[in-house]
A and B are shown apart, each in its own frame.
Chain A
C-alpha cells in the first residue's frame, strides 16, 4: 500500500513537472469550429485536419523548438458564440493564431474581435470576397478562384443559357451578383435566378421554372441538405447530368457521399482541391488523415486548406523568427509551398495564389478532374465588374 502510494506521488510529481515544462515551452494556438449544431457535420472534419497538421508538426519537434498546444473551442454553429470564443482565445489563452470559421456569418462575427485584439485568423473556406481584413488570412477560394472559373468552363463547353440556383444567404447572393455581371459581359444569357431558404426541401416551383426557362446548365450554390432534396426532385422530373448538367460550389467529397452517387453521378463541382489530386503531398495527407480518422473518410477542399493553413503559419513564424501575429502577417506574404492543393503562394492581400479544378462526380463521392486553370490564379477579393474601384487596404 505504502509502495503504491509513493509510486503515485512520484508519478504525480513527474507529471506536474512535465506539465510545467511543456507549458513554458509550448506555444498556444486556437482551433475554433462548430463542433455541435447544424454546421458540425462540415466543421468537425476541418478541425480534425488542422489537428492532424499540428500533431505532425509536434512529432517533428514543433515550431522554433516549441511544441504547439491546441486550445479547441466550439463555435456551436452560432455566430455570436464564435465572437465570444475568439475573444476568449485571444485575451485569456493568448493564442498566437486561430484556425477556424466556416460560414461567412461566423467570419464576420469574429472579424472585429481579431481587428481589436490584433490577432490572426486563418479562414479555410471558399467565400464571397468583398472583404479584406489585415487580421485574416483567407485561404479558401475568392470568387475569381471558384465561381468565375466555373462560369468560364461552362461557357467553354458551349453552355450559353445559365440558371443560378442558391440558398438564401450572403454567399450565394454575392457570388451570383458577380456571376451575373460576367454573364452579361460575356454576352451569355441568364435564364433564371432563384433562392431557397437554408434547409428548404421543396423544389417543385424551382424545377418548373427551370423547365420553362430551358437553361443549358445550372450553377448551384445550394448549401447542405437542400442539395439532397433538389437532386431527388430534379431526377424525378426526368433530368440527368446528360440533359441538364449542374455545377456546384458547395458540394465536395463529403457532401457527395451524403447525397449519394445515384443522385450526383456525372455532375460537376469546382474547387481548389479534390481528394483525387495525384500530387505526392496530397497522397501523404490523404493517407495520414485516413490512418487517423478512418479508411473511408472523405477529404474536402476546406479540410485541405485547414491542414495547409497550419503549415503556412509555421513557415511564416519560422521566417519571422517570432510568434507575434503582426510579424507573422508580414512574413507570410510571398511564402510558397508544395501543398496537397499543388503549388500555392500567399499574395500580399493575405489570400492564396492557387490552381482551380473542375471535377466530375463519380463512384464513392470522388471527383475526377476534367479541367483545370492554366497555372495558378491570383486572388481578387473585389471583383472589378461587381465592385468597381474597391481594393484591399
Chain B
C-alpha cells in the first residue's frame, strides 16, 4: 500500500464518482423532481452511446476526431426528443401512480433494448475515443488517463449547467415552483403540462449527453443501460430525492467509498460492502444527504 497506489485509488474514486454522476443527473430530474420511477433511464444513456456511434459514422470521415463535438448536440437532441415522445404518449397519463410508471417504463426499456438489437445487432457497436484523448498525464508515478479527465470534466460541466438552469434561470424557477406546490404554481399561471414535458425531455437529453461520455470508456450495446440503472437510482436516493447537489455529493461519496473498498479489499467484495453501507446509511438518513421538503406529486 504505497503512496502511488493510494493516490491512484483516489483518482479512481473521482473517476467512479464522475461516472455515477453522469448516469444519475438525468434521473435527478425525472425521478428527483417529477417522482417518475423511470426504469428506461439506462436506455437513454444507451441511446446517447448509439448516437455517438452514428456521429462517428457520419461526421468521422469529414471531421475526423471532431465527430465528438457533433455527438454531444446530436445525443442531447435525440434523447430529449425520445424523452418528449415518451412523456407525451405514456408518462403523462401516469402521473401520481408511481407503480404504474415503474411497469410502463420497464416495458419501454425492453422495447428500446429490442429496437437497438434490431437496428444495430446484438453484439454492440465500436466507439473509439478521439486520438487526442488517448494519452495520459503523469503526475509523479500516478497515471491520469486523459479520457478519464475528460469524463470528469464532462460530469462537472453537466452538473454546472443543470445547477445554473435550475437555480438561476426563469425555467428553473418555474420547475422549483411546480416541485414545491403544483397547484399554486398552476394558479399563478405556470403551464405545468408543458413544464412536465420539458423537464422529462431535459432529463432524457442530459442522459444522452452522459451516454456520449460513457461510450468513451464502456461498451455500447443493447443491454448496457442495465449496467447503470441501479447505480443511478442509488445516487439519487442517497443524495436526497429532489436535490441535484445532493446527487452530486452522493456520487462523490459513493465513488470514494467504492474506490477505497476496492483498493483495500477485492473488487467483488467492495460491491457488497457498498450496498451494505447504503442500506445502513438510509436507515440513519432515510431522506438522503440533502433532504428537500416539497408538496410534489406524491402528496397532491
Chain A residues with a Cβ under 8 A of chain B:
38, 40-41, 168, 193-197, 199-202, 204-206, 208-209, 211-212, 225, 228-229, 232-233, 235-238, 254, 257-260, 262-263
Contacts and interface: CB of A to CB of B under 8 A. Distances in A.
B263 A41 contact: no
A260 B126 contact: yes
B221 A225 contact: yes
B293 interface: no
29 contacts: A41-B122, A41-B123, A194-B266, A194-B268, A195-B266, A195-B268, A196-B268, A197-B271, A201-B214, A201-B219, A201-B227, A202-B19, A204-B16, A205-B9, A208-B5, A208-B12, A211-B5, A211-B8, A212-B8, A225-B223, A225-B224, A228-B219, A229-B217, A233-B145, A236-B136, A236-B147, A236-B217, A237-B136, A262-B128
Interface of B: 2, 4-5, 8-9, 11-12, 15-16, 19, 122-124, 126, 128-129, 133-136, 143, 145-148, 214, 216-219, 221, 223-224, 226-228, 258-259, 262-263, 266-268, 270-271
A204 B268 contact: no
A263 B126 CA distance: 10
B219 A229 contact: yes
B147 A258 contact: no
Give the interface SS of chain A, mostly helix, strand, loop or mixed: helix
Question: Which of A195, A201, A260 is packed against the most chain B CB atoms within 10 Å?
Answer: A201
B16 A202 contact: yes
Nearest to A44: B122
Contact of B2 (A193, A199, A212, A237): A212
Question: Which of A168, A208, A228, A235 is packed against the most chain B CB atoms within 10 Å?
Answer: A208
A212 B4 contact: yes
B143 A238 contact: yes
Contacts, number: 107
B12 A204 contact: yes
Given A208-B5, A257-B123, A201 B147 contact: no
A238 B217 contact: no
Contacts of A260: 126, 128
Given A228-B218, A257-B123, 5 more contacts: A195-B267, A195-B268, A197-B268, A199-B226, A202-B16
A38 B214 CA distance: 20
A73 B202 CA distance: 43
Contacts of A263: 128
A211 B221 CA distance: 29
B263 A208 contact: yes
Nearest to B138: A238
Given A205-B9, A235-B134, A237-B136, A254 B123 contact: yes
Contacts of B270: 205
B223 A38 contact: yes
Contacts of A197: 268, 271
B266 A208 contact: no
Given A195-B268, A199-B227, A211-B143, A40 B259 contact: no
A211 B122 CA distance: 33
Contacts of B133: 236
Question: Which of B2, B12, B133, B259 is packed against the most chain A CB atoms within 10 Å?
Answer: B12
A258 B224 CA distance: 14
Contacts of A193: 266
